Structure 1
Amino acid sequence: MSGELEVRGLGKAYRRWGSELRRVASWFFPGVHPQHEHWVLKDIGFSIAAGEAVGIIGQNGAGKSTLLKLITGTIQPTVGQVVVRGRVAAILELGMGFNGDLTGRENVYHSAGLMGYARDDIHRAMPEIEAFAEIGAYFDQPMRTYSSGMQVRVAFSVATAFRPDLLIVDEALSVGDSYFQHKSFDRIRQFREQGVSIIFVSHSLSDVRTLCDRVILIDKGRVLKDGVPDEVVDYYNAMITEKENAKLTVEQRRARNGWLTTRSGSGEARVADLRLVDAATAQELAVVNVGQRVELRLQVTVHADLPRLVLGYMVRDKQGHIIWGTNTWHTHQIVEAPRAGETIVFRLPFTCTLGPGSYSVSPALVSSDTHLSDNYEWVDNLLVFDVINVDRDFFIGSTSLDARFVIERNDVKVM
């Protein structure tokens, strides 16, 4: 069995007929229409290959949860078709399918039984399910006494007790504590390595970047974008800002080095130049050594009189994780009342304590602590540089800690 999924021309409408007679008449007479019709999803089409991890993102109300319910068969489509090849395990709305009067153990038998597993198989898997959930004596208490986090633990444990062909995870995991989130993501990664297809819905865009091979952006019930994670996530971030300000434009371009540049903003101030240089010689750098003293130099041209100007930086690794970020609002270095035609230079000296790898710098020109009020210009991945380790002891990770082992034997320091 493969975990392939095909969604063809899918649509879901909620209709108000006004009377039962009118609804029944529509079965026989095509000219009879509902009094009111609201399409939550329309013309959705995509496919997921075996072993592929696909993220689905979008604002609240975009139709993400409805799409998952259609895929799992919880609700039926108005038009279109969903074809799933293989066994599906899904964690959708918190507590969906659970009975509050049953214990956790009883709910496991009930939930896994609905997934098609035999009682003997569930019985054999029960010790592992109970151990993974880690809720102790509550496992044999009525589920109505559970916290939301405990419900998530049981739901995830039973959904992943047997290896599915397609695993669907909605926002439910965000309710759990940090420890269980890490534990759950480890299991999801293991499934992915074993060839399980995954649909992952989350507002945590860093998790989406890390876990997914592909991302689908749903907006107003339609597929707005379908592509590689960095392209779709950056576009989504820019789109959110654009909705706050009708003057904004969004442009995307992929450079030869593979990094995608996403530029948005209203244009009252723009980045004229950004470069990374050696702090001592001012020589421009594309490769930096761990521990090297460097400086980011950014030149801004102001195209309109502004009340204030704030520069923000975000440094990300190749996977899109934010390594560091701040802005001049938080450092109390706001440029007050810049005027049209003015050129402003921002310098940021620092010691490179990043680990070996590839990194990007995303600048943002705004008027306050956020880009949601005034976004003059935001450019994702405008500058890209590599870090290498030439003269320090070997280490792994994204940060070079100022750390050295101290070893004592028989209470005597030996090194």
Structure 2
Amino acid sequence: MGHIRIQQLGKAYRQYPSRWARLLEWLSPCARPRHQQKWVLQDIDLDIAPGEAVGLVGSNGAGKSTLLKIITGTTLPTRGSCSVGGRVSALLELGMGFHPEFTGRQNVFMAAQLQGLQREEIEELMPAIEAFAEIGDAIDQPVRTYSSGMQMRLAFSVATARRPDVLIVDEALSVGDAYFQHKSFERIRSFRRDGTTLLIVSHDRFAIQSICDRAVLLEFGRVVQQGEPEMVMDYYHARMTAGLNHRVRQEMLANGKTRTISGTGEVEVESVRLLEQDTSVEIIEVGSEVTLEVVVRATQDISQLVLGFMLKDRLGQAMYGINSYRLKQTLENIRAGERILYRYSFPMRLGPGNYSVSLSLSRRDSHLDGSYEWRDCAMLFQVANASHENFVGYSWLGAELAVERLGAAAEVLELRRSLP
């Protein structure tokens, strides 16, 4: 079984003021150093258990790719230790290791041999690699003729030709088409079910939340938060707008979920309720007509105000979202101290399960444009099914069925012949 153990890990690169300083230091190794150390990773402690799936998130330059290179052994740490158990398969950079002048088939042999496979094993796996990549006759064409999507298909197919003990994926799947992304993530899920340890880097919060047991947030080369994926991703997305947001705070709710609140604070959520026939409810029957009632209060004068809400499932995946801007009801010239009541009415067509409501108070359509307050898990509710058919999925569509028996094929043919 694969595991990853990282202790007090740090990575620094030398920075020289000029190329001459680099040369002088090389010619005079005993003289004073002429470089400064730039730390890209510092004091990283991370223990990933066998079979665990961990998502690594952070903005560009946070140190994610450097950490993955250390884990895979392509870069050595400056200090600390990193140990990995089991056979590792990594997809770090698109087409990394592929030679553009060689054919796809030749590159498959080279890449698979770098993973430790013997030629006989590769020949045995080649039909499955070709079938999964689905690039047809291009497998025998030079890789330089491939699109980025074709390179990703082939690279992923090689990296996952055999189930590894540890699978590491770094954003490579983001360039693929929707069909292959679904296909690839299904393979990743099957590896998880069979016990593969997974470390995935992605900016896709729904991929992280649906696949991973835990998420780790890196900022400026340090781990700033780790824990339940939805909590970490909420915090991460709040921090992404730190140029606009003066505050980010998290609160632990009674049921163990974490509420993340961020924003500049010119407008605040005062109360939120889900109503059924003007009665506040927390358990709702599938298909019931409900009203989401939100009261907000302005703490300062503002020029425009948009309120949006999003319904999320228990994994934090978006089920439905809308705001007053898209419904053409943006408010203008709100005064400090003014309170505003919003009432969204809709049929609760979600499937049975636990859900949450997230709220956004902003200046315009996007919370990135003047985010007064973003509140995840503003309220929790449950949908139950006691009066409808036993359906499967996240949405109740109320399908109606008409069935007509047409008889045997010969009778149907004779009936058609008799028609004028």
Partner of 1:250: 248
Distance 1:406 1:38 in 2: 70
Partner of 2:348: 352
Residue-by-residue CA offset, 1:307-359 (whole Å, 9 max, x unaligned)? 01110111100011100111111111011111111111000111111110111
After TM superposition, the structure 1 = structure 2 runs for residues 71-220 of structure 1, keeping only pairs within 5 Å, are: 71-220=71-220
Matched, 1:333 2:290: no
Distance 2:235 2:82 in 1: 27
Matched, 1:262 2:265: no
- Matched to 2:275, the amino acid is V
Matched, 1:376 2:372: yes
The one of 295, 306, 311 equivalent to 1:310 is: 306
- The offset of 1:400, in angstroms, is 0.4
- The offset of 1:24, in angstroms, is 6.6
Residue-by-residue CA offset, 1:110-169 (whole Å, 9 max, x unaligned)? 001011111111111111111111100001111111110010111110111111110001
Partner of 1:19: 22
Partner of 1:62: 62
User: The residue matched to 2:131 in structure 1 has which SS?
Assistant: helix
Residue-by-residue CA offset, 1:254-299 (whole Å, 9 max, x unaligned)? 2122322111122211111100011x3x111010001111101111
After TM superposition, the structure 1 = structure 2 runs for residues 268-307 of structure 1, keeping only pairs within 5 Å, are: 268-278=266-276, 280=277, 282-307=278-303
Sequence identity, in percent? 48
User: The residue matched to 1:47 in structure 2 has which SS?
Assistant: strand
Partner of 1:36: 36
Matched-pair contact (CA < 8 Å) for 1:276–1:295: yes
- Matched to 2:112, the amino acid is A
User: The residue matched to 2:306 in structure 1 has which SS?
Assistant: strand
Using structure 1 for the length normalisation, give the TM-score. 0.94
Of 263-272 and 344-353, deviating more is 263-272
Q: Which runs of 5+ in 1 are unaligned?
A: none
Partner of 2:416: none
- The offset of 1:16, in angstroms, is 3.5
Query: Relative to 1, partners in 2 of residues 1:69 and 1:382: Cα closer, same or farther, differing over 3 Å?
Result: same
- The offset of 1:402, in angstroms, is 3.0
Matched-pair contact (CA < 8 Å) for 2:287–2:348: yes
Matched-pair contact (CA < 8 Å) for 2:22–2:34: no
Matched-pair contact (CA < 8 Å) for 1:15–1:34: no
Q: Which runs of 5+ in 2 are unaligned?
A: 409-420
User: The residue matched to 2:155 in structure 1 has which SS?
Assistant: helix
Distance 2:15 2:264 in 1: 42
Matched-pair contact (CA < 8 Å) for 1:13–1:41: yes
- The offset of 1:305, in angstroms, is 0.9
Distance 2:345 2:365 in 1: 21
Distance 1:178 1:155 in 2: 17
Distance 1:35 1:294 in 2: 65
User: The residue matched to 1:195 in structure 2 has which SS?
Assistant: coil
Matched-pair contact (CA < 8 Å) for 2:189–2:211: yes
Partner of 2:389: 393
The one of 290, 308, 320 equivalent to 2:316 is: 320
- The offset of 1:25, in angstroms, is 4.9
- Matched to 2:199, the amino acid is I
Matched-pair contact (CA < 8 Å) for 1:166–1:196: yes
User: The residue matched to 2:232 in structure 1 has which SS?
Assistant: helix
Matched-pair contact (CA < 8 Å) for 1:329–1:369: yes
Distance 2:22 2:328 in 1: 63
User: The residue matched to 1:206 in structure 2 has which SS?
Assistant: helix
Residue-by-residue CA offset, 1:205-249 (whole Å, 9 max, x unaligned)? 1110111001010111111111111111111011112x2225x21
Partner of 2:3: 4
Of 62-71 and 7-16, deviating more is 7-16
Query: Relative to 1, partners in 2 of residues 1:34 and 1:373: Cα closer, same or farther, differing over 3 Å?
Result: farther
Matched-pair contact (CA < 8 Å) for 1:244–1:373: no
Distance 1:117 1:213 in 2: 30
Partner of 2:413: none
Distance 1:325 1:208 in 2: 20
Matched-pair contact (CA < 8 Å) for 1:244–1:372: no
User: The residue matched to 1:382 in structure 2 has which SS?
Assistant: strand
User: The residue matched to 1:409 in structure 2 has which SS?
Assistant: coil
Distance 2:198 2:162 in 1: 14
Distance 1:140 1:321 in 2: 40
- The offset of 1:96, in angstroms, is 0.5
- Matched to 1:301, the amino acid is R
Query: Relative to 1, partners in 2 of residues 1:411 and 1:264: Cα closer, same or farther, differing over 3 Å?
Result: farther
Distance 1:320 1:92 in 2: 27
User: The residue matched to 1:185 in structure 2 has which SS?
Assistant: helix
Divergent runs of 4+, >3 A? 23-26
Distance 2:284 2:33 in 1: 67
Residue-by-residue CA offset, 1:358-384 (whole Å, 9 max, x unaligned)? 110011111111122322111101111
Using structure 2 for the length normalisation, give the TM-score. 0.93
- The offset of 1:411, in angstroms, is 7.5
Matched, 1:226 2:226: yes
Partner of 1:46: 46
Residue-by-residue CA offset, 1:19-58 (whole Å, 9 max, x unaligned)? 34514755xx5x7324233222222221110000000001
